[in-house]
Chain A
């Protein structure tokens, strides 16, 4: 299984990654090798096997009560923001 330019451009778009012209063939080559590696999975007979959904047998995801447990700490969290206006995150205009 070999991935071409269109496959790479498609996954890069889905993953929201800008690629340069010169990167496309590099990733096409390495992803093709990885997909070739993972294609070994075809060898396994999994006809009656349940897919594994949790690393520990019998355990499922725990849920907590739908209650407010955190205090408002937006000022602290927003210290890491690349661009703010007051308490609002600034992004390029979305709707003209």
Chain B
């Protein structure tokens, strides 16, 4: 059953071919066996999961079960879950037990899902390789010498190794799509404001968005339907009806205009990836889509723009960790300043400190206009580029990453080299757009991701295009040998 998608599991559960208890037990066994090899989880909640599964089985028997009843999932450890340890991959929160549920956790539970545990991640979601986690790096199930990507590396690795049928994730600059691409799974970052950020530990509040890592676009549609929608507890949540994502999946692609993004096929792109993207375009053309080229002239400035805006917001958001009301506190503080400075120095890892200091620098007196204000203006230009492109096309298409998964340690010495991994994903965050990565082949034995970006609130179209592609291909069904 572990190779089954959520769509398949729902049929089996409703038909009483399998119980939620059996599914959860099977997942827990696989998670336990995989933990020394992949380190994909920070916390496993076996007892609570089995209790929830037993309750789900009773509801299924009684016939009053909500749509996702009995389906096991995992949550990225950035989502607060009441009574559960929620660490955000940091020593700062290593012992933090959340007193409340994130809206995402609450909604998915109300829809009937069973939580297996919390997945590993880069510390405070800052990283592209899952090497910054206080709980150790996650390894890529396709090659354990390689990174799974980040920051949602645990969620991506767990789904790729079929430890869980799906997992929640978050994306600030590519943290859903990049690990999904590197691990050969499907990842969707919805429109900014589509999914509530309440209870999702903040990194950069104008960019952060919760989403999913799944085995297929169909599974993403099933789960997103339960997660999305207005939440009064998030002041940036958008009050707009949630379409029936599942109903839209099968629509033919005739008339859909796809724009091939010129700037994505630059010198930095691995030629093997470029060839796979071209092959994917041919599939979509056979499905009836028309393809033309689009250009976003300001897109090459997205990485520098992001590395002003995101650290600036991070330095402000992470100011709350002061060692007073919750989180790590240093021993024997001399005075209040010493308490703040040492608690933060001990609680945060090197990358988080680097981003806090970068953000502090670009916001500091004398530099604000040159960096922060300038970046917000360039962000506007990038956003306008996208808006213009979407006058001519319905979906923008390109690779998700410039290369396949790299080896652990390969990019840790220079932060800028690591930052350039997100060169194709950051644009969608800056403009608040929905984007999806799906597997489209292999280069040197490692998965390659195809990225689709759409106008605001076009998740339905992105899932539709991805689903039609997945009907014609089987890349998304490939599982690493050891984990079959």
- Is the Cβ of A41 less than 8 Å from the Cβ of B333? no
A36 to B303, CA, bound (A): 12
Partner of A44, one of B99, B238, B325, B381: B381
- Is the Cβ of B341 less than 8 Å from the Cβ of A16? yes
A93 to B334, CA, bound (A): 9
**A1-22 contact mask (Cβ, 8 Å, vs B): 1 or 0:** 0010001101110111111000
**B283-318 contact mask (Cβ, 8 Å, vs A): 1 or 0:** 000000000000000100101110110000001000
Chain B residues positioned under 8 Å from A79 (CB to CB): 97, 99
A32 to B193, CA, bound (A): 34
- Is the Cβ of A50 less than 8 Å from the Cβ of B329? no
Partner of A46, one of B207, B377, B414: B377
Partner of A17, one of B357, B371, B415, B432: B357
B468 within 8 A of A: no
B383 within 8 A of A: yes
Write the chain B residue with the least CB distance to A81: B325
Chain A residues positioned under 8 Å from B341 (CB to CB): 16-18
Q: How far is the CB of A11 from chain B (nearest CB, A)?
A: 5
A56 within 8 A of B: yes
Partner of A11, one of B97, B340, B364, B415: B364
A67 within 8 A of B: no
Chain A residues positioned under 8 Å from B334 (CB to CB): 92
Q: A51-B373, A91-B336 are in contact. Are A27 and B357 (CB under 8 A)?
A: yes
Q: How many residues of B contact A (CB 8 A)?
A: 72
- Is the Cβ of A15 less than 8 Å from the Cβ of B304? no
* Residue with the highest number of chain B CB atoms closer than 10 Å, among A3, A37, A77, A82: A82
Chain B residues positioned under 8 Å from A53 (CB to CB): 376
Chain B residues positioned under 8 Å from A76 (CB to CB): 99
B483 within 8 A of A: no
Write the chain A residue with the least CB distance to B357: A11
Chain A residues positioned under 8 Å from B16 (CB to CB): none
Q: How far is the CB of B235 from chain A (nearest CB, A)?
A: 5
A35 to B304, CA, bound (A): 9
Chain A residues positioned under 8 Å from B327 (CB to CB): 80, 82
- Is the Cβ of B238 less than 8 Å from the Cβ of A89? no
B379 within 8 A of A: yes
Chain B residues positioned under 8 Å from A41 (CB to CB): 301, 304-305, 308, 371, 374-375, 378
B5 within 8 A of A: no
- Is the Cβ of B376 less than 8 Å from the Cβ of A18? no
Chain B residues positioned under 8 Å from A36 (CB to CB): 416
B335 within 8 A of A: yes
A40 within 8 A of B: yes
A30 to B273, CA, bound (A): 30
Chain A residues positioned under 8 Å from B356 (CB to CB): 15, 17
Which residues between 99 and 158 of chain B lie within 8 Å of chain A, taking CB atoms? Answer: 99
- Is the Cβ of A49 less than 8 Å from the Cβ of B381? yes
- Is the Cβ of B348 less than 8 Å from the Cβ of A44? no
Q: How far is the CB of B347 from chain A (nearest CB, A)?
A: 10
Chain B residues positioned under 8 Å from A7 (CB to CB): 361
B272 within 8 A of A: no
A34 to B379, CA, bound (A): 18
Chain B residues positioned under 8 Å from A82 (CB to CB): 323-324, 326-329
A63 to B471, CA, bound (A): 44
- Is the Cβ of B354 less than 8 Å from the Cβ of A31? yes
* Residue with the highest number of chain B CB atoms closer than 10 Å, among A51, A52, A80: A52
- Is the Cβ of B307 less than 8 Å from the Cβ of A38? yes
B362 within 8 A of A: yes
Q: A49-B380, A82-B327 are in contact. Are A37 and B419 (CB under 8 A)?
A: yes
**B217-247 contact mask (Cβ, 8 Å, vs A): 1 or 0:** 0000000000000001001101000000000
* Contacts A/B (CB < 8 Å), 14 sampled: A3-B361, A8-B357, A16-B322, A30-B414, A31-B361, A37-B304, A44-B378, A49-B381, A55-B193, A56-B238, A56-B432, A82-B327, A92-B334, A92-B338
Which residues of chain A have a CB within 8 Å of any CB of chain B?
3, 7-8, 10-12, 14-19, 27, 30-31, 33-44, 46, 49-57, 59, 61-64, 73, 76-83, 89, 91-94
Q: What are the 7 closest A-B residue pairs judged by CB atoms, nearest first?
A: A55-B432, A51-B376, A82-B329, A80-B326, A46-B377, A18-B341, A18-B345
